[in-house]
Structure 1
Amino acid sequence: MYWHNKQYICVFASRFRYYQNVCTFSYSSVWWDWPRWEREIDWMALNGINLPLAFTGQEALWQEVYRALGLNQSEIDEFFSGPAFLAWNRMGNMFRFGGPLPQSWHVNQLYLQFRILERMRSFGMIPILPAFSGNIPKGILRLFPAANVTSLGPWSHFNCSFSCSYILDPRDPLFLQIGSLYLSQVVQQFGTNHIYNTDTFNEMTPPSSDPAYLSAVSRSVFASMTAVDPHAIWLMQGWLFFSDAVFWKPAQIQALLHGVPLGRMIVLDLFAETEPIFSYTESFYGQPFIWCMLHNFGGNSGFFGTVESINSGPFEALRFPNSTLVGIGMTPEGIEQNPVMYELMSELAWRKEPVNLSKWVSLYAMRRYGSTDENLTAAWVRLFASVYNCTLPHYRNHNHSPLVRRPSFHMNSGLWYDPADLYKAWKLIIEAAPSLMSKETFRYDLVDVTRQVLQVLTTYFYQDIVDAFKNQKLPELLTAGGVLVNDLLPELSRLLNSDRNFLLGTWLERARSLALGEREAQLYDMNARNQLTLWGPSGEILDYASKEWGGLMEDYYAQRWGLFVHILVECLDSGRPFKQDAFNQAVFQVEKGFIYNGRRYPTKPQGDTYNIAYRIFLKYYPQALKRLK
């Protein structure tokens, strides 16, 4: 699933007075059709989830509200981003890029939302619906020139043509008018279970740090909810307190939280496994909160976990003095990776105390494959104790591998574990493979662990390339660069293309399938590719997604590495220095070319996974062991 400073799905499972919260950002769900949504909701139900966020289709209602206020279609089109970036658009972080949204998009998403809500409620879930944060189209200024509107400036370090936001002051009477008009539409169309989400100032600095102002802001936001629904409860994420800790000191945090009556707000402690906010805010100064595992930024491929932290953290939060904990949850930006982490976290909601991790993962191996093979148990015990047990403080799980980064001389893989454990687990899984290839869960894990090994080996070859260039040793550069570009990356591509869960073509086909006509299909295709790669018109959040998928590997990552090695060889040959700025300009053309290459990628696996993985093992396992010495 997905969440964080993007769209998410909050889900809670009952345990005494508890909710289990899973909040998920739509890196994948943006292109989901109804069968995929139905499958996800069924998974939620099987795990006892009872409070999912339901944000689909909200732009259709916003369009009607803005039309009723007097905005023209061009002003509305300028405001909404493209589908792949709507989550950030909803947070007020950006606008316009990737759009405009076709009218067919609104119709499709509205239809989906009705089915999503029906399915969720049929299981007794309580869908959370969107409310007004104050993020408005610039066109509002034409209609209401006297409105108290602030341009918060660009999100992060970007320019305003991409990310400037206009925020209507919640104390302005127009805020209540727009907020209640919108929420009335939401309740009329979607019904209500009385819990609403909105996030003001997400990764944006407020115009004033005055506690009186911040308290008035939250009071006004809440008033726009209760004007429509007197029983409203406001769910908000606590990410802003961490992401802008310089601004959000205790007085500011308390002021914002206490603008809402105690108990009428629920705060998501979004990244609690690493940066628990409840611990230094006296349990959010009395407001109920949910302890959340964020786990994954960007939906990155790559093994990662903090099993010790998530195993103990929720129970420590429950025992915290005057704790206001009301649930635990998951808030990853992307799902469909590291399934073991979500299995563990969803189970903890039903536990009264931490699990024995070694015993739990041993049983997980048996459940996952239906096998008692001791090799599999030993492999998972090793993985859980190493790659899935990051204990570095303040570690943020972006995939740092050079494999998925624009090449430069300043990259570090940032390993938090001993790769020897990964290699041993790989060997054990390979040995168990012949009798288990009929099981999809095993094939997935075989691909994933082999992929992780090649990701680590990429770092070694990258270092060989850097050392050879700095020492002006052309033969060594040609050798290391040749192995990486001409063998390791092609082998990785073949491996990824052999499993349906690692295909770029599936992602792109899902996007194109939502289109009416070729023009829309090209728009959605561009959105889908850009979000995975440049993330913005000029690479504003370059490589944020870091997906290791077949198709993406050969036509994006491998092309960049091939250009990097080629230019380094030319520099050594001619005696010229390597200039990163010049390389960045050249490689940008490769990156942009991928977004617009028009190529259709396979949606069905190709090749024999076992044969490919075993060939890679025979070739690279000895090299992996050699690198340990």
Structure 2
Amino acid sequence: MIQNIFSSLAAAIFRGMESGDDKAVWLMQALLHSVPVGKLVVLDLYAEVKPVWATSEQFYGVPYIWLVLGCQWKASSRILSFMILCLKWHFGRTELTSRTKTEMLLWHSQMLILIRFLLHLCCHYRETIATLITKVQGELFINKQAIPTHPHLWYSTSEVIRALQLFIASGDQLSESNTFSYDLVDLTRQALAKYANQLFVKVVEAYQLGDLHAVTHRSQKFLSLVEDLDTLLACHDGFLLGPWLESAKQLAQNDEQKKQFEWNARTQITMWFDNTEEEASLLRDYGNKYWSGLLRDYYGPRAAIYFKFLIQSLERSDGFRLRQWRREWVKLTNEWQNGSNIFPTKSAGDALNVSRRLYKKYLEEPDSHDF
């Protein structure tokens, strides 16, 4: 019954497409047999981890594209991201057969050539890049047992902080470079995001111990960090919410479309719209971004709601009110999605000065911080 409904729906959708363009081809992420052969291209998304073609007789003869989710690995530098993505794709997701080990040796030599070329090309970054590449080589080539299974945990936080120190030290000579400023903001953001993870864990630990003072203090510190991160991201055009929303609205041909397109843009980066009043969408934060405006206007208030319920739970000596918290979280999200407030489309602030200030505030002596 359900299969017939989906088949009828797919057929109707394709007839609508064909009525507007008799050469229409449907590009999608699933297989529906009701679409004429040759008129459908299937995207086997995340195929490097969970391939569907292998269990569907190669999609039963329907043309398909094997895809890698390259966005799973976010490097701190656009230069480094290319090298690290290649390394991760080739080794991090490959079974180490005898043939693969031989290929690894060949790839190792090729990557060393590429690394030397990039180091020569980016002479101003040479010490910073060398620090991170040494770490990558050590994990991927020397100690094969250290090949990570979780991409976002593959690097050492201390190495990132060391790289940030080198970036800041080179700032006076390179601050006029737009590329340097981008990488400086991105690297500072990444280091502070990991610090935020530690701080959040400390909030939860204090709650579990029933320490109201510590929960209140650490929550305030976390929210202050969110504000500081937003200020940092505002220093470069590449980390602004404004251009994303404005570019969506510019596609509209009338006010109704403008409102709809902005809602779509806001929804895509927050919570996809299959929630109820008390149940958040399973695809919440699927398209999350570290953008100035989004942190201060959405993530900060959302975190504040969570901390409020933690504090109230300790003050009242009762359990965490899960349903009420979810209700406020979903309400905040839906209201933000329906908002129309304007965000800057141009950066403001000095990236080097802000990075230096935040490094001293949060990262210079992390062990001495009073969590």
Measured against the shorter chain, the TM-score band is 0.7 to 0.9
Retained in 2: the 8 A contact 1:301–1:548? no
- Residues 243 and 308 of structure 1: CA distance in aligned 2, closer, same or farther (over 3 Å): closer
Distance in 2 (alpha carbons) for counterparts of 1:438 and 1:461: 33
Paired residue for 2:9? 166
- Residues 392 and 310 of structure 1: CA distance in aligned 2, closer, same or farther (over 3 Å): same
The correspondence for 1:296, drawn from 71, 75, 80, is: 71
The correspondence for 2:287, drawn from 538, 545, 558, is: 545
TM-score, scaled to structure 2: 0.78
Post-superposition Cα deviations, 1:296-349, rounded to whole Å, max 9, x if no partner, equal: 15x989787554343469999xx989xxxxxxxxxxxxxxxxxxxxxxxxxxxx
The structural deviation recorded for 1:506 is 0.6
- Paired amino acid for 1:238: D
Distance in 1 (alpha carbons) for counterparts of 2:185 and 2:329: 29
- Residues 366 and 601 of structure 1: CA distance in aligned 2, closer, same or farther (over 3 Å): farther
Gaps of 5+ in 2: 101-105
The structural deviation recorded for 1:150 is 1.8
* Residue 490 (structure 1) aligned with residue 249 (structure 2): no
Paired residue for 1:569? 311
Paired residue for 2:22? 185
The correspondence for 1:468, drawn from 184, 199, 206, is: 206
The correspondence for 1:587, drawn from 329, 335, 338, is: 329
* Residue 611 (structure 1) aligned with residue 353 (structure 2): yes
Distance in 1 (alpha carbons) for counterparts of 2:230 and 2:17: 51
Distance in 2 (alpha carbons) for counterparts of 1:443 and 1:545: 24
What SS does the corresponding residue of 1:237 show, helix, strand or coil? strand
Post-superposition Cα deviations, 1:575-613, rounded to whole Å, max 9, x if no partner, equal: 121122221111111112211232100001011111101
- Paired amino acid for 2:346: K
What SS does the corresponding residue of 1:268 show, helix, strand or coil? strand
Task: Determine which structure has the larger helix proportion and give its number.
Answer: 2
Retained in 1: the 8 A contact 2:132–2:159? no
TM-score, scaled to structure 1: 0.48
* Residue 310 (structure 1) aligned with residue 83 (structure 2): no
- Paired amino acid for 1:484: F
- Paired amino acid for 1:166: L
Paired residue for 1:371? 123
Distance in 1 (alpha carbons) for counterparts of 2:46 and 2:181: 40
The structural deviation recorded for 1:221 is 3.8
- Residues 167 and 517 of structure 1: CA distance in aligned 2, closer, same or farther (over 3 Å): closer
Paired residue for 2:148? 392
Gaps of 5+ in 1: 1-147, 154-164, 169-173, 188-195, 207-216, 226-233, 272-293, 322-351, 398-413
Retained in 2: the 8 A contact 1:198–1:235? yes
- Paired amino acid for 2:292: G
The structural deviation recorded for 1:386 is 8.5
- Residues 383 and 610 of structure 1: CA distance in aligned 2, closer, same or farther (over 3 Å): farther
Distance in 2 (alpha carbons) for counterparts of 1:384 and 1:244: 25
Paired residue for 1:8? none
- Paired amino acid for 1:559: P
CA RMSD of aligned residues (A): 4.1
- Paired amino acid for 1:466: V
Distance in 2 (alpha carbons) for counterparts of 1:236 and 1:565: 43
Retained in 1: the 8 A contact 2:132–2:160? no
What SS does the corresponding residue of 1:544 show, helix, strand or coil? coil
Paired residue for 1:3? none
* Residue 237 (structure 1) aligned with residue 12 (structure 2): no
- Residues 236 and 526 of structure 1: CA distance in aligned 2, closer, same or farther (over 3 Å): closer
Distance in 2 (alpha carbons) for counterparts of 1:544 and 1:497: 22
- Paired amino acid for 2:57: I
Paired residue for 2:4? 150
- Residues 301 and 515 of structure 1: CA distance in aligned 2, closer, same or farther (over 3 Å): farther
- Paired amino acid for 1:436: L
Name the % identity.
Answer: 22
Distance in 1 (alpha carbons) for counterparts of 2:286 and 2:130: 33
The correspondence for 1:517, drawn from 254, 259, 271, is: 254
Distance in 1 (alpha carbons) for counterparts of 2:127 and 2:48: 42
